[in-house]
Each structure stands twice: as C-alpha cells, then as structure tokens.
Amino acid sequence: MLEVTGTDAINQFQKLLVIFLWGMFFGMMVFMPPHTLAQVQAQDQDQPKRQQSFQSQAPVLLHPDPFPVENGQGLRTAVQASVAAGTAEMPFWLYANRYGELRPGSRINALNQLSVRYRMGSPADRYLLETGAALSLRAANTGNTAHFQTLFARAEYGIFRLEAGRFYDDAEMPFPQLTTGSMIVSRNATPVLRIQLSTRGFIDVPFTAGHLQFRARYSDGQLERDRYIRDALLHQKMAHLKFNVWRIELMTGFIHNVVWAGTDPERGRLPRSFADYLRVVTGRAADPESSASGSEVLNRLGNGVAAYDGTMIIQLNGAQLVLHRQIYLEDTVSLRLRSYRDGLYGVGLQNISWFSWLDALLIEHLQTLMQDSLPGMPPGRARYYNHGIYYSGWTYENNVLGNPLLTIDPSRERYPVYNNLVAGWHLGMHGQLSERSEWQFMGTFTRNYGNCNDDLLISGNLCSVTATGRDPRPGSEARPRSEVRRDQYSFLLRGSYLLMPQHGLSINAALALDTGAHLGNRAGLEIGLRISPK
C-alpha cells in the first residue's frame, strides 16, 4: 500500500510539473505583450553569453552541419566528400555519433553530400524563415544508399520555433561534439522525421530580471517502416528551468520519449486513438479495453524512455565549469529512483581562454548496471533500450537513438541492443592551433557485461522485472558479472584545416583505434573535403 501511494504521489508530481511548465509556456505566449518580446530579444543581444552558455564553443569546421553558426540570409550551398576505411571493420568513433552517416559493421565507406539552405531573417531578429536539405550518397562494402540526411522547414517568431522534417537538434546536451551522447537522443542515429514546437533557446520569465529562464520542446514523429512494429510513432517532449544567480547557472528538467502505435505482425494494429495519444503524453497506462498488452495496462502505454536532467554552469575567470547529470529512466520502477546511479555524469570546461590551443575539455562517466535490480540480484533486469513489445527497441535506422556505448547488433530482429550493461569513462578535448585549424580528441574506456538474459542468466526467470518490482524469483541462477566482463578502449584524433577561406574549402582527416575484447582490435582512417562558399 505504501508503495502504491508513493508511486501515485510521484505521478501526480510529474503531472503538476508538466502542467505548470506548459502553462507558463503558453501563458507567456498569450500574456506577454509585443514590447516585452522586443525587450527579451534585446536582452538576448546584450547578454549573449548567458543565453548561449549552455552550449560550449562549437567546433565549426568539424561540425556535421556545414552551416552550424551561419547567421546570414539568402542561399547557401555546401559539398562534402570523404572516404573512411578500417582494417577489419571501421573503429567505433569513426561511425558513432555521426547522425548515421557511416554504416556500423562496414569496412569501407565513401560519402558524398550536397547541402542547401535558404534563410530569411536571423536568430537575432523577431522572425526567421528557413528551409534546407542535405542529400547523402553513401557507397559501402555492405551496401549503397541514397537518402536525405536533413530535409526541413523552420519558422521562428518571437519566443517560438516551429520545425518540420529531418533536422539536427543538440538541445539535450552540453559539449555535443565531445560527449559520448545523451541517454535519450544523441547524435548517433539519422534525425527522425518529425514536427516540433519549441522555444528559441532559454526565455526570460517575466518579472524575474533574467534570474529565471524557461525552455521547452514538444514533438511528434514517425519511425522507419523496416522494423518489427511497422509505422510506429515517436512522441517527445522536454522542459527545463534555468536559475541564474551571480556566476552560477543551474538548469533542471525532465525529458520524456515514447514509441507507440504501429502494426504488430502477430497482434495487428496497436492502440493509436486520440485518447491513447493523451495517455502517451501524460505517461499513463493503457486502456484495459484496448488492444494493448497486459504489461502496458499495468505499466505505461508504449515504449517509454526518459531522464531527469540537470546541469550547473559556473563562470570562472577565463572558462566555464560545467557539471552535468542525466538519470536514465526506463520504466515505472525507475521513476522511484531505484536505479539512481544509472545514467551519465559529466564535468568539463568550455570557452577556455587560458590556452590558445584548447577550447573545451570534458570527462564523462557512464553507468547502466543497476537496471532496477534488488540487492543480491543480477543487474540488467530492466533491459535498457530493448522492449518486450516494440522488439526493435530504442533504435532508428539500425542505430541506437541514445548513447552508442550501449551497442547494437542490427541483424537481430528482437532485442538488438545486445550490450546494455556498461560502465565507462570518457575524455573529450577540442581546440584550435590557428584561426584556420581545429582538432578534436576522444578516448573511451568501457567495461561491457552484455545483457542479463544472454550473458548472466543460467536458469529461471531472474532477468525480468514486474510492474511492482516485487519479484525475487526462486529457482533462478545467474553467473557472477566478473565472468562476462569485456574491456574495450576506443580512441579518435580528428583535425581540420581551412585551405581557402574565401571559398570555404577545408580538408579534414581522422585516425581511430579500437582495442579490447568487446569490439576487437581495429584501426581506421578518414579523409575528406568540404566546400562551403560564403
């Protein structure tokens, strides 16, 4: 009884938090007069550091988007070409967190990309209209593809932004170029086709003198057809509050994503009515009278992944200290912080002026070992990134949507994330040797334990968890985690040099290395050119 009461209290708190944040969001839209909007825009221009401090000094030449900091108007074009090859398969950091540009498991990739963008207005204006596309042609030893990496339209007015299509979005994480990736949506997979309404960054809450800011995002999209549940839909939302006091910025919020609806090859059409959509949005259980499974009636409708998200930025003399914590949530049990250690920990420095050659430094720790396990039971029982109904799991186009250190086997139709018990440490660095050159280094060490069912379970049903979490299973046996441990080291050194600034011609190269028992020993090289005339 106490457990149910605690769960209800948490659910009510979440609902009240969502109502409060979105009420504030739309309340500002209705009640904020035009002159106040103009004041907000003026404050944004007068205090760019505070508004943009959440993002580190972004690498320009190394950014996957050829127009990452472009504020000009009119038509822009860019052409990119690169060749990447590995000794056996390509090393991890040559393909991971590349928006699915290069194919995992391949040995040779040749990539050509044509990007076009047209913009009216600028981020500093009250309005902005923009459209763009990036056509990618990829030839690999595992197969050739032609697809739109991005294809989008964007409109901004006042404090709001509306986007539709495939587009890049780094809103979840600080240090987007250096991190191993958000636990929810990282740079690892091709952008999902979706419609999204959001604020234009952090917005000052009226009458707080800039000490309280607000950011929100709400989107719906559709996943690829070639997965176990066809035509599945993706619902996403995120809301954050940011407190600015003295030299400290404290941000806290909640990220919620759900895969739902679609057609099951055995059960047919899954719930997708408007009433079901409201259940997905509010994180409620399925209707007992619907075609949903019993677990969705007891737990929540769809395959939900979420996170409690927090960041602190401290302004130092000559740099910004950034502390970040993302607590990963897979199911109802984890909402009670039963797996509070799981997720991502980060500490770093950005906008560094102490050294001419170093702009940003990040140290991260990833852990996914608790997974709702009770004391004395094996870890991995929550089956992170896998799901018992949406068997393709938290993936898109054969790539993990979240952190890529939880590795995938695309040949598996069910439970493709075969390694979700991971503990790792990561170092990322970025700098400039001159105004024309950039460099980036990443080094990662992981201890990989596979997953509970395949690697730890000997007999019984100890690797599953019920909606209540009360499930010590008699007659079950598991081997010690130390017996299945596989260590892995992955390194990347990437550089770029602007050969002809007037024509935007740059050359880039990358060297990557893997060594260990999980992914094996392999080395790889990538060389590319980019032309982006101004």
Q: How many domains does the chain have?
A: 1
Average pLDDT over residues 398-414: 93
- State which residues form the domain around 346: 2-60+76-531
d(CA 136, CA 130): 20
Residue-averaged pLDDT of the chain: 85
Q: Which tokens hold the place of 455?
A: 């690697």
The pLDDT score that the predictor gives to residue 476 is 65
Per-residue pLDDT at 378: 61
Residue 108 lies in a domain: yes
CATH number of the domain where residue 26 is located: 2.40.160.130
In this structure, is residue 268 part of a structural domain?
Answer: yes
Q: Would 70 be classed as within a structural domain?
A: no
The pLDDT > 70 percentage for the chain reads: 82
Most confident of 70-84, 236-250, 443-457: 236-250
Closest CA to 473 of 461, 481, 465, 459: 461
How large is the average pLDDT for residues 470-484? 68
Mean pLDDT calculated for residue range 409-429: 94
Q: Could you give the 3-state DSSP secondary structure of residue 296?
A: helix
Instruction: Note the pLDDT tens digit of each residue in 299-347.
Output: 789 999 999 999 999 999 999 999 999 999 987 776 777 778 999 999 9
How far, CA to CA in Å, does 420 sit from each of 59, 396, 406?
A: 30, 17, 5
Q: What is the arithmetic mean of pLDDT over 11-35?
A: 45
- Is 267 part of a structural domain of the chain? yes
Q: SS3 breakdown of the chain: % helix, strand, coil, rounded to 5?
A: 15, 45, 40
pLDDT digits (tens, 9 = 90+) for 164-196: 999 998 777 899 999 999 999 999 999 999 999
* Residue 71 falls inside a structural domain: no
pLDDT digits (tens, 9 = 90+) for 257-313: 999 999 999 889 999 999 999 999 998 888 888 878 877 777 789 999 999 999 999
Amino acid 475: pLDDT: 59
Predicted local distance difference test score (pLDDT) of residue 258 = 96
pLDDT digits (tens, 9 = 90+) for 33-47: 444 344 434 444 444
Minimum mean pLDDT range among 200-204, 331-335, 421-425: 331-335
pLDDT of residue 1: 29
Task: Please check whether residue 504 lies inside any domain of the structure.
Answer: yes
Q: For residue 138, what are its two tokens?
A: 């990829």
| Prediction pTM value | 0.86
Q: Is residue 402 part of a domain?
A: yes
Q: How far apart are CA 424 and CA 346, in angstroms?
A: 12
Give the range among 107-116, 364-373, 391-400, 442-451 with minimum mean pLDDT.
Answer: 364-373
Q: Which residue has the higher pLDDT, 60 or 414?
A: 414
Whole-number pLDDT of residue 289: 80
- H-type helices in 264-310, by residue range? 274-282, 294-298
Instruction: Pick the most confident of 249-253, 370-374, 452-456.
Output: 249-253
Task: Please state, as a whole number, how many other Cβ atoms lie within 10 Å of the Cβ of residue 479.
Answer: 12
User: Would residue 65 count as lying in a domain?
Assistant: no
Residue 459 pLDDT > 90, yes or no?
Answer: no
Mean of pLDDT values over 236-259? 96
Which pLDDT belongs to residue 376? 60
Dig out the tokens for 407 from the structure.
């590795």
The model's pLDDT over 484-525, given as tens digits with 9 standing for 90+, comes to 899 999 999 999 999 998 888 999 999 999 999 999 999 999
Indicate whether 13 pLDDT > 50: no
